[in-house]
Structure 1
Amino acid sequence: MPIEVAILIYPGFELLDASGPVSVFSTANFVLDQQEKDPAYEISMVSSIGGAVRSSSGVSVNTKPLSKVPPRKLHTFLVAGAEAGPLRKVLKDPVVCERAPRWARKSNRYGSVCAGTFVLAKLKLIDGRCVASHWSACRSLAAAFPKVEVDENAIYVKDGNVWTSAGVTTGIDMALAMVANDTGMAVANDVAKRLVLYVRRPGNQSQFSPLLRAQRTAEHPFGDLMDWVQLNLEHNLDVPTLAARAGLSERSFFRKFTEAMDETPARLIESIRLDAARVLLSQGLATKLTASRVGLPSSRFAKAFERRFGMSPRLYREMHAQSAAPSRDR
C-alpha cells in the first residue's frame, strides 16, 4: 500500500517547511522508479478551506480542503511552521482546530516542521512528548506548554509515532530519516545524493554546530579563518599555524581570538573536530579513519569523544550508523 503523506499549510506558512519534505518523498519515488519498484509515497497538501494558499515568500500552493475531506487513516500527517503572526491566526481557525487533531490521531505517525509544534501543542497532540522546534521558539514553546518536553538542541526528534524537526532545512533531515525508516537506508542515501546534500545529519546533531557558532560570531579576519579550518581539520591547527594564517603574532592572535570567540583556540578546534567526527561516525566511517579525517590521534580522539558525548566513538557509530533518528519510543 502507498504511504499517504498529508502536509497541513496555512496563509503565511514557511515554504521550505513543506517543500523540503515533499522533495524528499517525491525523490524517493523517483529513486524507487529507477530501481523498477513501485512509488512509495502519495503526497498531498491540505489547508482549512482548500485552494491556493500563499506562503510567507509569496509563492502559492494548491491544497485540498480539510473542511470537505473527512478524516481518514493516513500514514503521515505533518504541520508546516510559520512566524508568530500566521501561527496565531491558524490557531484560531475552527476548521483546523476541529479537523487537524482527528487527522493526526488517525495517522500512523504525525508531527511538524519548525514552529508547527505550536499547532500540535495547542491541539494537545504532544502532551508528554519530547519534541524539537526552531531554536528561536524553544523557550517560548516550553513556557507556554509545560506538558511538552522541548529538546532545544536536536535537529529532529522521534518520540513514539510523533516526529518533529527544528526548523526549515531540518524538515529535510527528518523526511530523510522517515524514508530510511520506510524504505531502507540505501534509498534514503540515494535521495540525499540526488538532492546534493552535504551530509545526512542524525537527529541528535545540534541545531548550531561549533563551527557555525564560530562563523556567526567571528569578526575579520576570523570569519575566513573558520572557513579554512573546516577544510583542513586533518592538518595541524595549533596556535602558531592559526596565527600565521590570520596574519597575527601568536600572542595577539590568542588574545583576540579568545575575546571574539569566548573560547580558547585549542578548545574550539577540538569541539569542531569532535562535531565533524560525530557526523562521519553517523555515516558509518570506521573509528580510526574518522580520527584521521578530523586530525586527532586515535588514543586522544577516543578520550575526547567520550568526554564530550558520554560514550565511545565505536558505540556512537553502532548506535547511529544504523538509524538516523533519535528515538524516544515508550
Structure 2
Amino acid sequence: MSKLLNVAILVFPACQALDVTGPAAVFEAGNFVLGSAYYKVHILAAKSGAIQTNSAVRLMARSISDLSPHSVDTLLIAGGSVSGLESMVADDRVRKWVVLASRTARRYGSVCTGTFALAHFGLLDGKRVATHWSACADLAAQWPNADVDKQSLFVNVGRLWTSAGVTTGIDMSLDMVASDLGNAVANGVAKRLVLYARRPGYQSQFSPVLSAQSQADAPFAALVLWMRENLSKQLDVPRLAEKVYMSERTFVRHFIKSIGETPARFVETLRLDEARSLFATSMSIKEIAARTGYATGAQLSKAFNRRFGMSPQLFRELHCYRERE
C-alpha cells in the first residue's frame, strides 16, 4: 500500500493509559503481522508535550495542529478523568478539529468515557453506543438522544465505533483490523499480543464467570472457575457437590443463595456463553457442541435457540465476520 492509513488517538491529562496504548499496540501489531506498514498511529492532544495519564505512565503527544483532520482514516478519543475530559471538550480548537475529522474519516469513535466527548461534539444523536459500565447511566441521562448499550463490549454503527473501555478498546481495534485485513491477520495480532481470545462486541461487559465470582461465597468462587474450564465434562449436581465436599441438598441450597441461579441453569449459562464466543471462529457447530458439553450439535442449537431466540446459524450471520477472500 503506497499511502499509510492515519490512526489518530486523542488524549488529555489524566486519560486512561490502556485506552491509548491498547489500540495503538493492536494497529502496530497489524503492521507486523501483515509484514508491511499499513497503519500509522498518531497520539494527539490539544498541544504537544508530555501527557500524564491516570497511572504512572506519561505519553508524548503531538498537537492536533500537526495532523490535518482531513487526513485521518481512523479517529479514536480515549477515556479518563471527568476533569480531563471537560478540559478537552471546552477547547474550541479540539472541537473544530474533531468535528472536521469525523466528517471525512472512514471511521471515528471512542474508548471508554471518550464517548462523552463525542456527545459534547454532537456526534452521537440517534446512535447506539457503548461506554464503561460505571458511566452508562450518566451518559444516558445527559444525552437522552443517544441509545446507550449497557451490555456490549463495543458497538459499531456505520462509521461510528464505541467501546466499553480499558481492555475492550483492544477488542474493538482488533475488529477494525479484521474488517480491514481479514480474520487471519487479526488472529495473528491476537496471538502476538498473547490474548486469551478475540472477544466479539456483542459479548457482555461482565462475563458469567466474573459476575458469579464477584458475588460468590467460598468455596463457590473457585468452583465457578473450575466449571468454566471443564465445560466438556459432566457437570451435574453430584459431581459439583463432591468438588466442594457438600451433600447434594446442601450444595444446591448454598449454590442458589451464593450465585443466584440453580446449578443446572448456571452450567447452561456458562456453556452457551462459551458457545457464543466460539461461533465467531470457523469451528463447526458439532465441534463447538463437543467443546461446551453438548452431546450433539442439535442439542446445542435447541438450547441456544431457547436462550437467545435464534439459531446458531442465524446468530453467525448477524454477528460474526466471515473470512475475507
Q: Which consecutive residues of structure 2, in runs of 5 or more, have no partner in the other structure?
A: none
1:321 Cα offset (Å) = 4.1
| 2:314 matched residue in structure 1 | 315
Q: Aligned match of 1:5 in 4, 7, 29?
A: 7
1:67 Cα offset (Å) = 4.5
Tell me the C-alpha RMSD between the 2 structures: 1.5
1:284, 1:317 within 8 Å by CA — same for their partners in 2? Answer: no
1:318 Cα offset (Å) = 4.1
Q: Which amino acid aligns with 2:58?
A: S
Specify the SS of the correspondent of 2:211: helix
| 2:59 matched residue in structure 1 | 61
1:89 aligned to 2:91? no
| 1:27 matched residue in structure 2 | 29
Specify the SS of the correspondent of 1:112: strand
Deviation per residue, 1:194-225 (Å, 9 max, x gap): 11111111111111111221121112100110
Residues of 1 paired with 2:98 and 2:222: CA distance?
A: 47
Residues of 2 paired with 1:107 and 1:309: CA distance?
A: 35
Residues of 1 paired with 2:244 and 2:128: CA distance?
A: 43
* TM-score, L = length of structure 2: 0.94
1:258 aligned to 2:256? yes
Specify the SS of the correspondent of 1:63: strand
1:132, 1:155 within 8 Å by CA — same for their partners in 2? Answer: yes
Residues of 2 paired with 1:97 and 1:178: CA distance?
A: 25
Residues of 2 paired with 1:69 and 1:239: CA distance?
A: 61
Specify the SS of the correspondent of 1:75: strand
| 1:18 matched residue in structure 2 | 20
Matches within 5 A, 1:241-252: 241-252=239-250
Specify the SS of the correspondent of 1:303: helix
Larger RCO (alpha carbons 8 Å, 6+ apart): 1
1:70 Cα offset (Å) = 4.4
| 2:304 matched residue in structure 1 | 305
Farther off after superposition, 268-277 or 295-304: 295-304
| 1:327 matched residue in structure 2 | none
| 2:150 matched residue in structure 1 | 152
Matches within 5 A, 1:1-330: 1-33=3-35, 38-67=36-65, 69-298=67-296, 299-323=298-322
1:74 Cα offset (Å) = 1.2
Q: Percent identity?
A: 47
* TM-score, L = length of structure 1: 0.93
Specify the SS of the correspondent of 1:117: helix
Specify the SS of the correspondent of 2:29: helix
Deviation per residue, 1:261-300 (Å, 9 max, x gap): 1111111111011000011111121111111111123233
Q: Which consecutive residues of structure 1, in runs of 5 or more, have no partner in the other structure?
A: 325-330
1:8 Cα offset (Å) = 0.2
Specify the SS of the correspondent of 1:139: helix
